[in-house]
């Protein structure tokens, strides 16, 4: 592993132009580019090195110290970790706290009430500046509103919202009551929303009439109405609707306007203390089956690691930094690095409702300029889109406020890494590549700026207090230079506490391949210096624009169409989105008769978009006469992936029908 001391001892970069970018194979030998710790971060680096040393000396003591330093506990904990019921961990078990109070009230008490918490910018250009005092007041009132509507600790509240301040207020108000939020990304369909409401047994939905997206209002309320017509949603008592889009909505007896109910609610709310292990949220994520998993996170451990990583990986100076994480609250990145991490640290941040290219391609860079953003955290796919649009767009803006860039969601290709650093960061800013997952709750593997010699394309080293290890199929640690599977050897504070109502699936999915180790589902390689390079998923999870989707989920959606007899889906490499969805479909005899292939393909693409959400719409649907199957009937996805990526198709000798791949390739 790159220990801090080694990193300092290494020679500086050999070439700043980026022309000798590592290919991503993990080798950094032979004069390839890497970047020394940035001078601007070296002061902080001493503290960061101490963190590494402290964690190495006593991991549990280290996390206990961090938790005490970063959070306000109502009842101090005396037990750090209880893993007797492994893999179900308890952290800081006998302590109590209120998560919302840690993100809000305590900053106001500490005299920071006038600090801006959120610079909100709507897509049409409307803005709101919300201080910590104002956000605290909003959340207190909203907590009273929810409790007037009968929400009590442990209840589930589904949040289906655009990226507006009320979404953050709703999450924190739920947390303040010890209730459990389940945010469903606003791009998901009515059916996806219904399934999550049913699984969570939610009492209330918070939504908006609509939100601004790509220059128009994207309605949300109609999807809630449709979802609640479906099965398994009787648990919902009310729908709270924020007025945002101004679009017409139909009104049902259970519906209430957010602004009406807020006006009725009392302004002051006393936060109760809850146990550290009080569930905080459920977030559904795609697994290897058709049914999304409700990943459960709890309070004290989650907030500790979200705050710790936010502070140290991004080298936060809350008094001066203006931070912007571009993620939507519908994903884990929005939970940990828009809501909980930054607010626990009392940081000022930008919240932007819309897309990067509205009203024109430079919108993001205009926002960096306008708000003086210092730390920008985004996804490789966004960087690649900006590259495609051309550097003249950012070059025309003043981006000199930026001092640190972060990447998350998928492996960042060295070309995008260099472009990000040079064009957006003017070759001054470190780029930290952060690996983590919905299940890990917070960043697990990342360079620390100022400490680590940065290698473009590598997530590099576990953060202090985390034991990330690459192992072979037998669970033995691989040597530097070899690849294997990424695992975590010891429990960590923000780890998932389970899958909602499905403990067996939690054990089976993550803890059974290597007993005693968490199996992440990612392939990884150690380079000659022991640094970690992520290689992508090794299971049937795809990563499209940094969003997780399972092949099985899309296959299930496709076969729900009357005309589809069978479907196989693969993730194919894609220059912009990382991976793209390619579906191979056999039509039913009736549907196949005299069919217009192009029209049916397009219909099926749209069908999947309606069933799951636009992000799940395949790039391509190929109608095929048969799928490549072994004699035992197993679909050989490897061959389909070859075809989808335009490669020569691999070995077909084990296929039942040897000629099928030639036919499929013809049809691509």
User: Where do contacts with ligand WTA occur on this chain (CB under 6 A)?
Assistant: 285, 331-333, 408-411, 433-438, 459, 520-522, 534, 537, 543, 548
Concatenate the DSSP letters of all residues of 396-424 into one string: TS--TT--EEEEESSPPPHHHHHHIIIII
Name residues whose C-beta falls within 8 Å of residue 414's C-beta, 6 or more positions apart in sequence.
18, 21, 22, 23, 24, 456, 457
Question: Is cis: bond before 359, omega within 30 of 0?
Answer: yes
Residue 136 C-beta: closest distance to ligand WTA, Å: 28
Minimum CB separation from ligand WTA for residue 241, in Å?
28
Which is nearer to ligand WTA, 209 or 328 (by Cβ)?
328
| Residue carrying the six token digits 């884990």 | 332
When the beta carbons of 244 and 525 are compared against ligand WTA, the nearer one is 525
In the three-class reduction of DSSP (H, G, I as helix; E, B as strand; rest coil), residue 30 is classed as coil
Our CB check for ligand WTA shows the closer of 1 and 273 to be 1
CA dist 332 → 340, 368, 486 (Å): 11, 23, 20
Would you say 278 or 285 has its CB closer to ligand WTA? 285
In whole angstroms, what is the distance from residue 318 CA to residue 111 CA?
Answer: 13
In the complex with ligand WTA, the residue whose CB is nearer, 75 or 512, is 512
Contact 297, 283 (CB under 8 A): yes
Measured from the CB atom, the residue of 368 and 408 that comes closer to ligand WTA is 408
Q: What is the DSSP string of 465-513?
A: T--EEEE-TTSPBPPTT-EEEEEE-S--TT---EETT-HHHHIIIIISS
Q: Which residue lies nearer to ligand WTA by CB, 445 or 604? A: 445
- Minimum CB separation of residue 279 from ligand WTA in Å reads 18
CB of 315 to ligand WTA, least distance (A): 18
Nearer to ligand WTA, 67 or 285 (CB): 285
The 10 Å Cβ neighbour count of residue 353 is: 21
Minimum CB separation of residue 458 from ligand WTA in Å reads 9
Residues 641 and 518: their CA atoms lie apart, in Å, by: 28
Burial of 495 (0-12, 13-18, 19+ CB in 10 A): buried
Q: Are 189 and 610 in contact (CB under 8 A)?
A: yes
Q: Shortest Cβ distance from residue 333 to ligand WTA (Å)?
A: 5
Contact 558, 525 (CB under 8 A): no
Provide, rounded to whole angstroms, the least separation between the CB of residue 543 and ligand WTA.
Answer: 5
Supply the minimum distance, in Å, between the C-beta of residue 235 and ligand WTA: 26
């Amino acid at each position: 592993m790159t220990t801090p001391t080694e990193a300092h001892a290494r020679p500086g970069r050999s070439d700043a132009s980026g022309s000798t970018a590592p290919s991503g194979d993990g080798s950094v030998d032979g004069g390839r580019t890497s970047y020394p710790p940035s001078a601007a971060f070296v002061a902080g680096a001493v503290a960061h090195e101490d963190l590494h040393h402290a964690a190495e000396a006593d991991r549990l003591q280290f996390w206990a110290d961090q938790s005490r330093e970063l959070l306000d506990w109502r009842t101090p904990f005396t037990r750090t970790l209880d893993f007797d019921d492994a893999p179900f961990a308890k952290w800081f078990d006998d302590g109590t706290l209120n998560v919302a109070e840690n993100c809000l009230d305590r900053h106001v008490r500490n005299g920071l009430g006038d600090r801006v918490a959120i610079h909100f910018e709507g897509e049409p250009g409307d803005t709101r500046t919300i201080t910590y005092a104002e956000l605290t007041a909003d959340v207190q009132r909203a907590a009273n509103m929810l409790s007037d509507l009968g929400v009590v600790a442990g209840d589930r509240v589904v949040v289906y919202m655009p990226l507006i301040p009320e979404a953050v207020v709703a999450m924190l108000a739920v947390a303040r009551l010890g209730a459990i939020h389940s945010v469903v990304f606003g791009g998901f369909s009515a059916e996806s929303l219904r399934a999550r409401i049913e699984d969570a047994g939610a009492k209330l939905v918070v939504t908006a009439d609509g939100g601004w997206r790509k220059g128009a209002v994207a309605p949300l309320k109609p999807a809630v109405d449709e979802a609640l017509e479906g099965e398994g949603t009787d648990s919902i008592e009310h729908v709270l609707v924020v007025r945002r889009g101004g679009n017409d909505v139909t009104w049902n007896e259970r519906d209430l306007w957010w602004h009406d109910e807020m006006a009725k609610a009392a302004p002051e709310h006393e936060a109760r203390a809850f146990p550290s292990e009080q569930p905080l949220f459920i977030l559904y994520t795609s697994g290897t089956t058709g049914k999304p998993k409700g990943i459960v996170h709890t309070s004290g451990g989650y907030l500790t690691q979200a705050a710790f990583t936010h502070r140290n990986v991004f080298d936060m100076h809350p008094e001066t930094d203006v931070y912007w994480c571009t993620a939507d609250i519908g994903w884990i990145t929005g939970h940990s690095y828009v809501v909980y991490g930054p607010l626990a640290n009392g940081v000022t941040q930008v919240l932007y409702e819309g897309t990067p290219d509205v009203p024109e391609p430079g919108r993001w860079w205009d926002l960096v300029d306008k708000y003086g953003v210092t730390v920008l955290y985004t996804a490789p796919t966004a960087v690649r889109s900006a590259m495609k649009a051309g550097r003249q767009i950012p070059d025309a803006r003043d981006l000199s406020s930026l001092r640190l860039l972060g990447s998350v969601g998928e492996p960042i290709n060295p070309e995008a890494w260099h472009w990000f650093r040079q064009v957006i960061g003017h070759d001054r800013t470190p780029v930290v590549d952060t690996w983590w997952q919905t299940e890990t709750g917070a960043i697990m593997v990342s360079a620390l700026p100022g400490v680590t010699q940065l290698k473009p394309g590598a997530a590099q080293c576990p953060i202090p207090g985390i034991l990330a290890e690459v192992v072979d199929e037998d669970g033995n640690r691989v040597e530097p230079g070899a690849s294997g599977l990424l695992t975590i050897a010891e429990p960590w504070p923000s780890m998932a506490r389970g899958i909602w109502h499905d403990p067996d699936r939690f054990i089976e999915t993550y803890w059974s391949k290597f007993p005693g180790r968490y199996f992440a589902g990612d392939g990884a390689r150690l380079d000659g210096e022991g640094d970690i390079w992520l290689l992508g998923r090794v299971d049937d999870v795809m990563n499209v624009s940094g969003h997780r989707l399972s092949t099985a989920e899309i296959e299930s959606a496709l076969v729900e169409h009357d005309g589809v007899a069978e479907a196989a889906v693969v993730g194919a490499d894609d220059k912009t989105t990382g991976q793209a969805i390619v579906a191979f479909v056999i039509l039913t005899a009736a549907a196949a008769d005299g069919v217009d292939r192009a029209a049916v393909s397009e219909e099926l693409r749209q069908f999947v978009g309606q069933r799951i959400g636009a992000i799940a719409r395949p790039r391509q649907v190929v109608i095929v006469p048969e799928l490549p199957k072994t004699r035992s009937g197993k679909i050989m996805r490897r061959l389909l992936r070859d075809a989808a990526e335009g490669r020569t198709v691999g070995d077909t000798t084990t296929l039942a029908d040897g000629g099928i791949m030639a036919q499929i390739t013809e049809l691509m």
